[in-house]
Structures are given as structure tokens and as C-alpha cells.
Structure 1
Amino acid sequence: MGQFGFGISWIAESFYVDAERFAALAIPAVAGLSAGLAIFPAMAAALYAVIAQRRPLGSIAASLLLATCWVATEWLRGHVLTGFPWNLAAYALVDHAALRQPAAWVGSYGLSFLTVLVGVMPGAAYSAVPRQRSAVLVLCAMAIIGLWGAGTFRLGSEAPLPRVDLRIVQGNVPQREKWAPGNRDATLELYLDLSSRPGNVDLLLWPETAFPGFLDEDAAARARITGSLPEGTLLLTGVPDRVESDAGTRYFNTVQAYDSSGEILTGYAKHHLVPFGEYVPFRGWLPFARLTEGLGDFTPGPGPRTLALPGTPLVAVAICYEIIFPGHVVDDLFRPDWIFNATNDAWFGTSIGPEQHLAAARMRAVEEGLPVVRAANTGISAIIDANGDVVARLDTGETGVIDASLPGARAPTPYARFGDWTILVLIVASWSLVYSFGLIRRRLDAEHSRMEEW
């Protein structure tokens, strides 16, 4: 509970954007969510204890059992009740280039398994009987060297560059001001001013809900935008959208693509929505209002989608929160060449939240072998290559643009091909290896006993 209480403390910031309505809920919300999330590591510890009490385990098997229980419940945390896979154990390695690369084979959950396994081994060695301590420490060292060696090997190859010039615009508009009716023109003018700076731009990228309105319904705003775009430049921007149906008006959180004539080329609707931020779960039962401005709850889109834009590599879109879900960002049937993460972390100010969000995006890049490009309203905007390295960034609270070339994509990783099945293979292989060593050790001990008797 302490881990989550600190790790998600940034959520409280969102309650103070509309302080008159929601400030009193900030501390109870963080405490309640932390308590709920703490159930999952508690389940891991309980499961470990139950199994360990029924059958005596050696130090290596005990370490392996705890790592297995941990990753099983961490995976559940990422899926139960729409999931919240925030601050996975693997993210402790995100700033270590070689050590994060194994996520390309086993994903972040698999890397969490290895991280916990290596992390508990020194303690297991300390509590082991003297004749087992050296074996535990040797295995721990071998695991660390193996992780580092495999990661270093992967870093040795480079991805070809697609030669696409990007411009990311970070308007840095405070959340309190963004949706004020009188500020819409000023916000649009700011984005147009930043977008029209000199430079070669093939693709212009604006963040989530950069335009505070229904852009596809606003011909005048589209004319102003396209009038400032150089010929051949495309715009990808986050905007809300609405569709009339027999059941009433449905609202979507989308990214839409426009060409220099103002025509909508294609779009993507966010499918993994934020509970209480974009919709109220069990609305008929829970007497709560959304924390964000809007006319109604958002409707989820159909799922991950790859967009084909003229003259640019295929792109997958992940809006804000969606980038935190391992294995659920890319359309498996139509692989893209890069991922566009349009986000609005303005809700969380200068807290640790945006840095943690960036860490998740970096791990998605490694897992999929694809560059991730982030456009954030108040930061952190960044370009991340397929190895998870941050090529360029604009920090929280900065106003400006990033001009850079799109990094290249790597060949599909094992995790991109097989998803979370690679975790199961890793766990089974680890247990099989330990079991085999155990059989060999028991045979050697038996042989030694027979020799002594003889």
C-alpha cells in the first residue's frame, strides 16, 4: 500500500483542477485505489505462503515460486476490471538500456518475473543452508549477466530510417484554461503559431484534445489550420468527436488526420477509456460525476487500429492511458511502422505522473520493436526509438516544438508475435531448468552416499 500510495500520488493532482467540486475526494481516492491495488501483491504473498507451507522448497525454488506468484498477480492487475498495469516491476530497469531489452522477447510482465527473481535471490542465499548459498549466488550472477548480455546483443543492430520529418507541438495550455469558451481562439492561435515555424515538416503532431471542440464540425477552424500547413504536410491531432445515432449522441476521444486541403483522411477512436475520467462505470449504480468536462460519457472505439496515411509509414495510435497496456497497443493483423501516443498529462501538473507515463511508453517501444512518438499538451513530449531510448523530449511545463526525423522500426519482436504466451514459456522453462538441476543434484547426492557406504 505504501508503494502504490507514493507511486500513484499524482492522481490527486487531477482532483484539484476543479477544486470546488472534487478537492475533498483527492486523498480518499488515492488511498482507496492504493488499498485496492495492494490486494494484488498481497495475493502473491499469500499464494506463495500457502504453497511453501505445504511443500519444503530449496532457496532457488522458493525464489522462483515468489517470482511466479508475483508476475501472475501483476498480470491480473493489468486485466481485472479493465486493468491498471502502472509501475510494473520491470519499469525499475527502464533507464538501463541493456537490461530493458529482454522485454522484446518476454514483454514487461516477463521482465517483471526476471526482475523479482533476481531481486529476491540475495535474500534467499542469506537464508539458505551453507552448501546452497554459493549455488544461489552463482545463479543470480548468471541471470544478471544473461539479461545484460542479451540486451547488449539486441542493441548491436540498428533499424533503417524511413526519412520522415516530424514536428511535435507542445502548447502547454493549463487544464483549467483549456476548455474555457473564451480561450478556444487563443489556444488555436498558439498551436498555429508554433506549427508554422520555419523547417521541413512532413507530419505535424498535436496532442490529445489539442483543439478544444469538434474540429470536423468547425469549417472556419479547419480553414485556419490548413491555411498554415505547407503543401504536402499532414496533421495528426487529438480532438473530441460526436456521432448521432438512434440511441442518441455518442462521444468519442479521437485522433484525426487532415491533409493540407482540410479533408479528414482517417481517424482513430480511443478504445481503452479511463474510469471516472472518460466514463463512469456502473453509472446506474454509482452516484458519481466524471472528473472531466464534457456533455456525456465517451464511447469506446473498436480497438487497436493501424492508419495508412499518404507518403508516411503506417502508424498505430494510442491515446494517453492506452500506452500503459502491454500487448494491447498494436493491431496484430496489420503491423504499423511506428506508434503515435497523443496524450494530455496536464491533469497531473509537474508531479511524477508524466515521467512514469513516459517510462511505460518506452517499454512499449522495446516490446513492439517500434518507435513511439509522444505529443503531450503540457509535457512530456518525446521521440523514443525502437530500443526505448529517448531521442528528443520537451519537459513538463515547456512550450515549444520538437523537430526530428522518425526513428526506424525493427523486425517484429517475439513478444510482438506471440504476446503474453512468451511469459508462460519463460516461467515453464525456468521451472523445468530448476527441476532438472534438482534431479541432477539428487542423483549426485545419492551416488555420493553410495560411494561413502562402499
Structure 2
Amino acid sequence: MKPAILNCFALRKRLLSRMTLGFAAGPLTVLTFPPFSILLLVPVAYSALFVGLRDLSFGRAFLVGWAFGLGQFGFGISWIAESFYVEPERFGALATPAVAGLSAGLAIFPAIAAVLFVEIARRGAMGSLLACLLFATSWTAAEWLRGHVLTGFPWNLAGYALVDYAALRQPAAWVGSYGLSFLTVFVAALPGAALMAVGRQRLIISLMPLAGIVTMWAVGTLRLQSDAPQPPDVDLRIVQGNVPQEEKWAPENREATFALYLELSTQPGDFDVLLWPETAFPGFLDEDAQARARIAAALPDGSVLLTGVPDRVLSEDGTRYFNTVQAFDDTNEILTGYAKHHLVPFGEYVPFRGWLPIERLTAGLGDFTPGPGPRTLALPGMPLVAVAICYEIIFPGHVVDDMFRPDWIFNATNDSWFGTSIGPEQHLASARMRAVEEGLPVIRAANTGISAVIDANGEIIARLDTGERGIIDADLPSAQPPTPYALFGDWMLLALILASWSWALAANATANYRRMRKTVMQRCG
């Protein structure tokens, strides 16, 4: 019995050490994203998980992957707690349980990646290169699921570690952010594979990360050096009011908030398009003729305003509420609008409301209704524009109407919910990746931090940080021709994975053939 007990104790100790390694490595991934962008930690984090999963059973691999995810999301989305303290007397007590519960749930996706990797690897002997490829494929499959299951939450994808590196983020124009994650994790796992390799193979695998980075850099540099189209002659003005969230919807503050946006909008300077953030007007603007008249008086001749506003529509089922961006011209006319289609659970609606006795975090008369989906808006005399409200910008391939390609993307948001945390920087990273994927400039208006002008390569041209009040006057950057990802979406990811596996299997077969031939010749000699 003693050897059996000792063996069981050793296995438990081994599992605990692997889970501890995973839990410690998970938060390192957050340090690879903005605002930190420590690129050297990418191979440290993913190689640690890659090594920690070797020789594990299904259940143990799940626990190690889950521990990694718990560390990753526990640190990476801790900023969500800030939103519960906007009204601390109502929601403050829920902050820690909410972050812990969401982190534990999201950690299931790294756990899925871990068991996929372990179970497939167990079914056939594979070399270090194929093992890294399998690890990257499993991770990417789990990230894709995270972006689509239920409402989806593709936040802090592995590829976003490259967003602050101009050339390295450009491959997303071909394969999207999920494809960039695949490339990132594959290269990042190679040092771990090198640690477990022996002899000449260790040297070869040790050199491969450098080769992968150089290849991605070269591909990205070629895109950056391509001729940019002539920019449209359109002047923008972005207004960032920096109104504290806890004050924004108080009835006694609504006039002051509206007056502030008008004052900032009428500062000296010319513009064609005026951009206000999500729910900048704290009321139903289409029902307020007086407020629209004041806006029209502030607009130069021929200019338009795009502003975030709540909207309501009477129907047979009662009043339906929408989170919208509406366009107004200098004649007091409503031109067009867009209704947010990807709503925030518990922020804009309560899932399973009949069963869950939970209040929404945001003020309002009722749950928001989702709009019909991505839409391209036509404004008189202006380039076509797509609209993404708040966190809609985090969804790769779901921002632009594929039937009517716009010339730019307007992202109206309100990140004041998250204070001075790392959340707004992570949110901005998603917006920059949508610009690269679609080959379109993204113009971001935030109630407070981070308003920005982003060109079609994901470069920030101008920005206003969290806590700043002011305006950005800038030219609208030019759009690039449709990227492969804009044309084919996540089919490009599938093509990348298939091509990578074809190359790796061919290389593996060639190496096996050479070894077999060498053995035969030695025997014959």
C-alpha cells in the first residue's frame, strides 16, 4: 500500500505544481497586451503552458488549462469591477463575485484548448514542430469559440500582443485576429518545445521563433510600404466630454452635459463631421425639437453630427428601447441612424430575465432591443460609414456590412464605466485590430478615454486619453482596398491552419524518409 499511496501523493503534488505554473503564467499574457505590450513575455507565458501540459490525462489537462485561464482573465478583466462601483450602494457588493465568476467561466476556454491538445497528441506520436502546431491550433479553436459561444466575448485575443508593433500586426489583414493568434501562439510555444528537444533538434527549434518573427515582420512591412490611396477631403471633430458616469444621467445635470458638448463643438475650427460618443445626449434627442435646434445652430453649413443617443419605439408589444447612433444635419433634420445589435449582457439587457432577479447596471426604463446587424450609413456628401457602438468593435468580422463596404468606421463608446483601469486601453486595441482587418480607418469618440483617430494600418494618428476633456480636429484617413480578411472572413483562418498543417506534415514526412533512408544505407553498407 505504501508505494501506491506515495505514488498517488506524487501525482497530486505534480498536478498542483502544474496548476500553480499555469495560474502564474496566465497573468503574464495580460502584460503582453496594451498598455504594457511586453513582447518578451509572450513566449514565456505560452511556453509555460505548453510544457506544463506534457504527459497529462484529460482531467488533469483541463485543470491546468483552467488554472491558466483563471489567472489570465482574473487579472485581464479585473477592470470590470470598476463598473459596479459607479453605484456602489446598489452593486458594489457584486463586484468581486462578478469578476471571479466571469473569470472562472471564461477560463473554461483555455481548458478546452488544453484538453484538445493533450487528447489529440496522445493519439499519435509527433515531433516538436507538429506539437507546437497542434497547441496553436487548439488554442485558436478555443479562442474562436470564446468569440462566438452564447453572445461571444473575444477580448484580449492572443494576437493582440502584437498590436503596438506596426509590422507585426499587419498579417491580420490576411488572416484576421484569430489567425494572428494562431501565428503568435505557434511561435511562442517553440521555445518550450526547444527546452524538451535534444541534440541537433534543439538548435533547429531554438532558431525557429526568430525565423517566424522575421517572416511576420517582412510580410507586415510590405503592407505598410504599399501606396496609400488619396485621403478624402473630410474634416472631423471628435468631442470628448469627460462626464463622470455617476453624474451623467442625473436629471439636474442633463442640461449642463448638453451645454458642455455644444460648447466644445463650437470651438474655433472647421469640420464636416462632428462626432459625439455613445449616449452623449442624456435623453431622447429625436423627440426634443428644441435640443435639435440648438445642435443645428452649432453646426457649420453642410456639416453633420453623428451622436450616440438612446431611442424608443412604440409597438404592439409595448415600448422598445434601442442604443443608437443618429445623424443630424444643420437644418435640424434626422438623416439616418443605426441601432446597436450586439448588446452587453447585464449592462444593456438581462438574459433570462424571467428567471434571474437581477437589475441592469445601466440606468434606463427597460432592456434594450438589439438592432438588425451591421449597417452602412450614407450621409450627404460624405464617405460611407459603418457604426460600431461600444464593445461591438471587439468582434472580428462582425462590424462591417459585407454587401455595402463603407469608407470608414465610427466607434461611439463610453469607457467612463471603467475609470483609469487597463480596460479602455484593451478596448482601443480591439478597435486598432478592426482597422487592420478591414483596411478601414476607425474613428473613436469616447465619453472619456480613449477617443482616437486610427488609420487603416491600425496606427493611432491622434488621441485623447482617459480623464481628458477636449476635442480632436483631424482629417479622415484614407481607406485601403478590401483586405483578404474583409473579403473572405474566417475562411482565411481555416486556409492558414490547413496550409500550416500541410507544410508541417510534409516536412515531418520528409525528415522521416531521410532518417529511414540513412538507416537503410548504413545497414547495407
Following superposition of structure 1 onto structure 2, how do residues 296-307 of structure 1 map, counting pairs within 5 Å? Answer: 296-307=366-377
Aligned CA-pair RMSD: 0.8
The 3-state SS of whatever aligns with 1:82 is coil
Matched, 1:414 2:462: no
1:84 aligns to what? 153
Structure 1: gaps (5+ residues): none
Alignment equivalent of 2:315, drawn from 222, 234, 245: 245
2:454 aligns to what? 384
Alignment equivalent of 1:213, drawn from 266, 272, 283: 283
Aligned equivalents of 2:233, 2:449: Cα separation in 1: 25
Matched, 1:102 2:171: yes
Any idea what the Cα deviations from partners look like across 1:204-244, whole Å, max 9, x if unmatched? 00000000000000001111111111111100000000000
1:194 aligns to what? 264
Alignment equivalent of 1:174, drawn from 213, 231, 244: 244
Matched, 1:143 2:212: yes
Aligned residues: 454
Aligned equivalents of 1:159, 1:207: Cα separation in 2: 28
The one-letter amino acid paired with 1:166 is: L
Aligned equivalents of 1:232, 1:386: Cα separation in 2: 26
Any idea what the Cα deviations from partners look like across 1:116-143, whole Å, max 9, x if unmatched? 0000101101101313223323433221
Alignment equivalent of 2:93, drawn from 10, 18, 24: 24
Any idea what the Cα deviations from partners look like across 1:370-426, whole Å, max 9, x if unmatched? 000000001100000000000000000100000000000000000000001111111
Matched, 1:93 2:162: yes
2:438 aligns to what? 368
1:327 aligns to what? 397
Following superposition of structure 1 onto structure 2, how do residues 44-443 of structure 1 map, counting pairs within 5 Å? Answer: 44-157=113-226, 158-443=228-513
Aligned equivalents of 2:301, 2:403: Cα separation in 1: 33
The one-letter amino acid paired with 1:103 is: A
The one-letter amino acid paired with 2:397 is: G
Aligned equivalents of 1:329, 1:144: Cα separation in 2: 29
The 3-state SS of whatever aligns with 2:520 is helix
Identity %: 73
Q: C-alpha displacement at 1:145, in angstroms?
A: 1.1
The 3-state SS of whatever aligns with 2:107 is helix
2:103 aligns to what? 34
The 3-state SS of whatever aligns with 2:150 is helix
2:58 aligns to what? none
The one-letter amino acid paired with 1:226 is: A
The one-letter amino acid paired with 1:116 is: V
Aligned equivalents of 1:350, 1:163: Cα separation in 2: 35
The 3-state SS of whatever aligns with 1:123 is helix
Aligned equivalents of 1:442, 1:187: Cα separation in 2: 71
1:450 aligns to what? 520
> What is the TM-score of this pair, normalised by structure 2?
0.86
Structure 2: gaps (5+ residues): 1-69
Q: C-alpha displacement at 1:355, in angstroms?
A: 0.5
User: 4+ residue runs of structure 1 moved beyond 4 angstroms?
Assistant: none
Aligned equivalents of 1:101, 1:5: Cα separation in 2: 29
> What is the TM-score of this pair, normalised by structure 1?
0.99
Aligned equivalents of 1:341, 1:140: Cα separation in 2: 36
Aligned equivalents of 1:95, 1:159: Cα separation in 2: 23
2:19 aligns to what? none
Any idea what the Cα deviations from partners look like across 1:173-204, whole Å, max 9, x if unmatched? 10011001111111111000000011110000
Q: C-alpha displacement at 1:436, in angstroms?
A: 0.5
Q: C-alpha displacement at 1:450, in angstroms?
A: 2.2
Q: C-alpha displacement at 1:160, in angstroms?
A: 2.1
Q: Which moved more, 1:134-143 or 1:435-444?
A: 134-143
